[in-house]
Structure 1
Amino acid sequence: MSLTHLNARGEAHMVDVADKQETRREARASARVSMLPATLALLAEGGLPKGDVLATARIAGIQAAKRTHELIPLCHALMLSKVTVDFTLDEVNSCVEIQVFCRLNGRTGVEMEALTAASVAALTLYDMCKAVDKGIVIGDIQLETKTGGKSGDWQREAMQEEAPAPTGVPAALAVASEDVSPVTAVNGNLRILFLAELRERLDLESLSLNPATLADATVGGLKRTLALRDPQLEALNDSRVLCAVNQDMVRDDHPLKAGDEVAFFPPVTGG
């Protein structure tokens, strides 16, 4: 199994989801469009020169969700059963809050569809308003919740309650950690996290494992044990996979002890 959207030759390819279980998948995303108070007032009054701004942006967002696979190269074409795009005019902060909801019954999630809808709705708002306010700022495009699939449910609010990463953690690992719901180490078990694209490829977020079950209490021994437990976890032996124990980068010969947090994640590159 490929670790990322790359095959054994390093070529981009679409992940095969045919063997995944079909479940109800839902996602919510949001975005914020900040503008001058006068622009927001015109928007609220329907006084902008291009007409009904919110209706146009809503249609654009829904269409974008349906066509995400045409915009994001390796996304699947999904049969969405529901897409909603809603707007809240915030006079205090002089902005428009965009909320998107997507749903389907399928084998892969709808996070990208929700995020794409929020992005395109925001861009459409800019296009409709730029004649009177070219300084509009689009920001805070983010996933709020997702449900369904093997990786389970996720909520941004729960992640914000997590303590900040200790010093010395690679920046990319700290960011990726925000996307992982906590797994409490029970009775000194290892807390094993799968981060960023690795989590998506494996469709697995976290595991808890008794270190006493390891024949070799090292990172390499953990990889071998996990591969025996689930053949798809053989992907952890890919030389590109990085590992951090208690948020310090380590190699395969690093020893493990009860209560350690072990995080596996794909290589991080700039660009």
Structure 2
Amino acid sequence: MTLTHLNERGQASMVDVHDKDETRREALASGWIRMQPETLKLLVDDDMPKGDVLATARIAGIQAAKRTHELIPLCHVLMLSKVSVDFEFDHQLPGVRVRSFCRLAGRTGVEMEALTAASVACLTLYDMCKAVDRGMVIGGVQLETKSGGRSGEWHREDSQSGAMDQTMADDTAGIPPLEHPEMQVTVRFFAELRERLNVESLHVSLTDLEDTRLSALRAFLLQRIQSGELLEQPRILCAVNHEVVQGDITLAPGDEIAFFPPVTGG
């Protein structure tokens, strides 16, 4: 048997993938965190003392997927085209089930990225909830499905991905198409901001803005969304493609912009 991560001298080596075909590669991973029923109720009611737990865990999982090569030895640096992290409350567990989905067009798979996203999302859920429940248990981190590459498709036989798989594959489905879809950005609102604005997400065409700067998007939202002045509060944070930004930046088609109140960890 040939060990792909060792060279002829038995030394650790990154696999050379230059001769592999570039194909569409996808992976779906899952995990869970079990907690006390009272802790789950606080989470469902969005009443945790540290802020929006799910929004923080989602961003952490996405960031982790993008930095898998820094965490797992010999993993390649990948240009991910999509990362999604989603959650499902499970009162039978009781706790939260996590699903992570990764996609790219490349020469190596994204299984490790999906698994890393699920793992770090679970760890972040623990960090955000440990103030009220230090006895939580994380488990069940596993690959559910993968596709692409020489090995083709693989599905876990006991996978119960169900309808959530489609949610992970396209978490913006159902939003009405725009006149210029190739120029759109996605805007999301989290935690108390989402509740007060009564909107979770929307698509905005850059052609509808005065220019392509973040300030122009803010001005557009201020006019189009009821109570949009909440976005002007200094405490409201903004992330573009899951990176918190300060000041004004230029937006590009396909960007995801998130507005959310501050959260705390530690």
Q: What TM-score does the superposition give when structure 2 sets the normalisation length?
A: 0.58
Structure 1 range deviating more: 150-159 or 100-109: 150-159
Query: In structure 1, what is the equivalent of residue 111 of structure 2?
Result: 111
Structure 1 residues 85 and 159: CA distance shift in structure 2, 3 A: closer
How far the C-alpha of 1:159 sits from its partner, in A, is 8.7
Query: In structure 1, what is the equivalent of residue 256 of structure 2?
Result: none
Q: What residue identity is the alignment partner of 1:73?
A: P
How far the C-alpha of 1:157 sits from its partner, in A, is 2.0
How far the C-alpha of 1:10 sits from its partner, in A, is 1.0
Instruction: Report if the CA contact (8 A) 2:64-2:117 is conserved.
Output: yes
Deviation string 1:222-249 (CA, Å, 9 cap, x unpaired) is xxxxxxxxxxxxxxxxxxxxxxxxxxxx
Aligned length: 160
Q: What TM-score does the superposition give when structure 1 sets the normalisation length?
A: 0.57
Instruction: Report if the CA contact (8 A) 1:31-1:141 is conserved.
Output: yes
Instruction: Report if the CA contact (8 A) 1:86-1:100 is conserved.
Output: yes
How far the C-alpha of 1:134 sits from its partner, in A, is 0.4
Structure 1 residues 7 and 105: CA distance shift in structure 2, 3 A: same
Q: What residue identity is the alignment partner of 1:132?
A: V
Query: In structure 2, what is the equivalent of residue 101 of structure 1?
Result: 101
Matches within 5 A, 1:245-264: none
1:64 partnered with 2:64: yes
Q: Which 5+ residue runs of structure 2 have no aligned equivalent?
A: 161-266
Matches within 5 A, 1:72-221: 72-157=72-157
Query: 1 CA distance for matches of 2:107 and 2:26?
Result: 12
Query: 2 CA distance for matches of 1:53 and 1:159?
Result: 26
Q: Which 5+ residue runs of structure 1 have no aligned equivalent?
A: 161-271
Deviation string 1:98-125 (CA, Å, 9 cap, x unpaired) is 0111000000000000000000000000
Query: In structure 2, what is the equivalent of residue 11 of structure 1?
Result: 11
Instruction: Report if the CA contact (8 A) 1:68-1:75 is conserved.
Output: yes
1:34 partnered with 2:10: no
Q: What residue identity is the alignment partner of 1:5?
A: H
Q: Which runs of 4+ in 1 moved over 6 A?
A: none
How far the C-alpha of 1:4 sits from its partner, in A, is 2.7
Q: What residue identity is the alignment partner of 2:74?
A: L
Residue identity (%): 73
Query: 2 CA distance for matches of 1:91 and 1:105?
Result: 37
Query: Which structure is larger by alpha-carbon Rg, 1 or 2?
Result: 1
Instruction: Report if the CA contact (8 A) 2:28-2:102 is conserved.
Output: yes
